[in-house]
């Protein structure tokens, strides 16, 4: 990829042969954005519960074995295995947290609970259900193989093993894993500071009445929801009307105090689309027409030190461009080791009209039929039909090579679950 700077691209888009801002593929746009992203470097030490969703700033190396002793996987009897064993004497009991401290010899056993330390001399546990109680003795109905029903020391984690790597985003299981090692605090990257605002004279925030020609601002709410899932620090700067001086003031203030500024609306070529001129004056911002539907206009660049994303105003376009470009960029800036979004191939039950040469992210509904998962595109795919995002549970991703699809075609889908 290019070593061309953002400034060169912004001021002279023809400086590179393979760079055409008016015909960017989805993948090209992603790659362009990625080369300008440097993760945050500041870190903080957090109690493990506070670290959920945060990005590890260091590798976590196991300080001990987990479990740290051989223990029983069953309620039963721990004994010293020998061929054809039948009648064994019970010489004591071992509870989880209260070990039996004698030694088990041949033809002896200890009654043992799940999680209790395997007593010295014992090497096998027989399940309680496979025995009959005979007073001081038990009768083994079905002898297990030697070594059965034990959880071995270090079987989960070995001392010195790297169990979580720098760049990992901490999940519920990880908090438990850290606790199982006795780790109380972890070093994580600081939160990314993200500000956003909507632009448009027609927009009104919820809670106020609408006048003729006005609409409620919905993008700020979807953007808020999408950002909340990422565990970033969010600043909502409200609706800014299409007034160059106000837009300028808000943008510059936001860029001074945040790592990222996201706006929606005003990045096309309409008469009230002032953002473009403003960004030309203050930023190193690239304006792209992406070969995709919905979400054609997209702006990316820097205003001061802050990264800037200008999303289209149409509510579905704003969401699609967020998911396809901004989400991954924010994760990279947070310092996460990012993996590609999972895609699955399923049968599409209806026909799809689609022009080759651009990528479409149609809203689809994934459902099960006779044990098979299938997808149905939603009826109205308009970029202003926000209800389609609510009703859908996946994107149907149709790349540039795909044209019209007949019912029964296998298509790629990205489930919302987990991402949205």
# residues contacting Mg ion (CB under 5 A): 4
Q: What is the DSSP string of 176-224?
A: HHHHHTT--EEEEEPPPEEEEEEE-TTEE-TTSPPPTT-EE--HHHHHH
Q: From the list ligand AMP, Mg ion, none, which binds 8 (C-beta under 5 to 8 Å, kind-based)?
A: none
CA angle 420, 321, 374 (to 5 degrees): 50
Among residues 167, 315, 377, 415, which is the contact residue for ligand AMP, using CB under 6 A?
A: 315
In whole angstroms, the minimum distance from the beta carbon of 288 to ligand AMP comes to 14
> x/- contact string, 263-282, with ligand AMP (CB under 6 A)?
-xxx-x-x------------
Among residues 167, 200, 295, 364, which is the contact residue for Mg ion, using CB under 5 A?
A: 200
Helical axes 327-334 vs 26-34, angle rounded to 10°: 20
Radius of gyration of the CA atoms of the chain, in A? 30
Q: How far apart are the first and last CA of the chain?
A: 30
Which of 30-38, 63-71, 188-196, 307-315 is the region at the interface with Mg ion (rule: CB under 5 A)? 307-315
Helical axes 275-282 vs 244-257, angle rounded to 10°: 50
Which of 43-51, 113-121, 213-221, 395-403 is the region at the interface with ligand AMP (rule: CB under 6 A)? 213-221
Beta pairing, strands 233-240 & 193-199: parallel
Q: Is residue 218 near ligand AMP by the rule CB under 6 A?
A: yes
Q: From the list Mg ion, ligand AMP, none, which binds 174 (C-beta under 5 to 8 Å, kind-based)?
A: none
Among residues 124, 250, 314, 324, which is the contact residue for ligand AMP, using CB under 6 A?
A: 314
Which of 43-51, 167-175, 259-267, 282-290 is the region at the interface with ligand AMP (rule: CB under 6 A)? 259-267
- Given a contact cutoff of 8 angstroms between Cβ atoms, the answer to whether 267 and 317 are in contact is no
What does DSSP assign to residue 322?
I
Neighbours of 252 (CB within 10 A): 16
Within 8 A by CB and 6+ apart from 390, the residues are none
Torsions phi, psi for 262 (to 5 deg) = -120, 130
In whole angstroms, the minimum distance from the beta carbon of 233 to ligand AMP comes to 21
Q: Is residue 388 near ligand AMP by the rule CB under 6 A?
A: no
Q: Is residue 265 near Mg ion by the rule CB under 5 A?
A: yes
Which residue's CB is nearer to ligand AMP, number 119 or number 295? Answer: 295
Q: Is residue 259 near ligand AMP by the rule CB under 6 A?
A: no
Which residue's CB is nearer to Mg ion, number 99 or number 266? Answer: 266
In whole angstroms, the minimum distance from the beta carbon of 388 to ligand AMP comes to 14
Q: How many residues does the chain have?
A: 420
- Given a contact cutoff of 8 angstroms between Cβ atoms, the answer to whether 336 and 232 are in contact is no
Q: Is residue 324 near ligand AMP by the rule CB under 6 A?
A: no
Token pair for 416: 């919302």
Question: Which residues sit at the interface with Mg ion, rule CB under 5 A?
Answer: 200, 265-266, 313
Question: Which residues sit at the interface with ligand AMP, rule CB under 6 A?
Answer: 198, 200, 202-203, 215, 217-219, 264-266, 268, 270, 312-315
């Amino acid at each position: 990829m290019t070593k061309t700077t953002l400034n060169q691209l912004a001021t002279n888009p023809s400086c590179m042969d393979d760079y055409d801002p008016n015909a960017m593929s989805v993948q090209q746009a992603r790659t362009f954005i990625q080369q300008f992203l440097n993760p945050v470097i500041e870190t903080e030490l957090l109690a493990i519960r506070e670290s959920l969703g945060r990005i590890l700033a260091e590798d976590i190396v196991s300080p001990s074995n987990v479990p740290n002793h051989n223990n029983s996987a069953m309620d039963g009897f721990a004994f010293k295995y020998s061929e054809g064993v039948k009648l064994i004497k019970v010489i004591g009991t071992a509870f989880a947290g209260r070990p039996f401290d004698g030694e088990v010899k041949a033809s002896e056993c200890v009654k043992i609970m799940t999680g209790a330390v395997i007593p010295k001399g014992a090497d096998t546990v027989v399940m309680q259900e496979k025995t009959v109680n005979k007073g001081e003795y038990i009768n083994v109905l079905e002898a297990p193989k030697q070594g059965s029903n034990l959880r071995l020391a270090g079987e989960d984690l070995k001392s010195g093993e790297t169990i979580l790597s720098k760049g990992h985003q901490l999940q519920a299981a990880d908090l438990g894993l850290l606790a199982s090692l006795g780790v109380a605090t972890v070093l994580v990257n600081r939160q990314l500071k993200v500000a956003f605002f909507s632009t448009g004279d027609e927009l009104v925030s919820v809670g106020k009445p609408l006048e003729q020609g006005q609409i409620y601002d919905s993008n700020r709410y979807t953007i808020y929801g999408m950002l909340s899932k990422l565990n970033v620090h969010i600043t909502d700067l409200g609706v800014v009307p299409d007034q160059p001086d106000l837009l300028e003031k808000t943008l510059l203030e936001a860029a001074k105090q945040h790592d990222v500024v996201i706006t929606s609306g005003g990045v096309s070529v309409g008469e009230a689309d002032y953002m473009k001129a403003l960004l030309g004056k203050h930023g190193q911002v690239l304006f792209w027409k992406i070969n995709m539907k919905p979400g054609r206009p997209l702006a990316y660049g820097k205003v001061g030190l802050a990264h800037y994303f200008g999303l289209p105003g149409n509510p579905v376009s704003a969401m699609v461009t967020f998911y396809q470009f901004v989400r991954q960029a924010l994760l990279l800036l947070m310092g996460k080791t990012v993996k590609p979004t999972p895609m699955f191939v399923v049968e599409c039950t209806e026909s799809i009209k689609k022009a080759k040469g651009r990528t479409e992210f149609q809203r689809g509904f994934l459902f099960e039929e006779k044990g098979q998962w299938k997808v149905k595109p939603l009826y109205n795919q308009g970029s202003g039909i926000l209800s389609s995002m609510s009703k859908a549970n996946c994107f149907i991703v149709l790349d540039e090579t795909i044209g019209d699809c007949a019912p029964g075609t296998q298509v790629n889908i990205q489930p919302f679950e987990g991402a949205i």
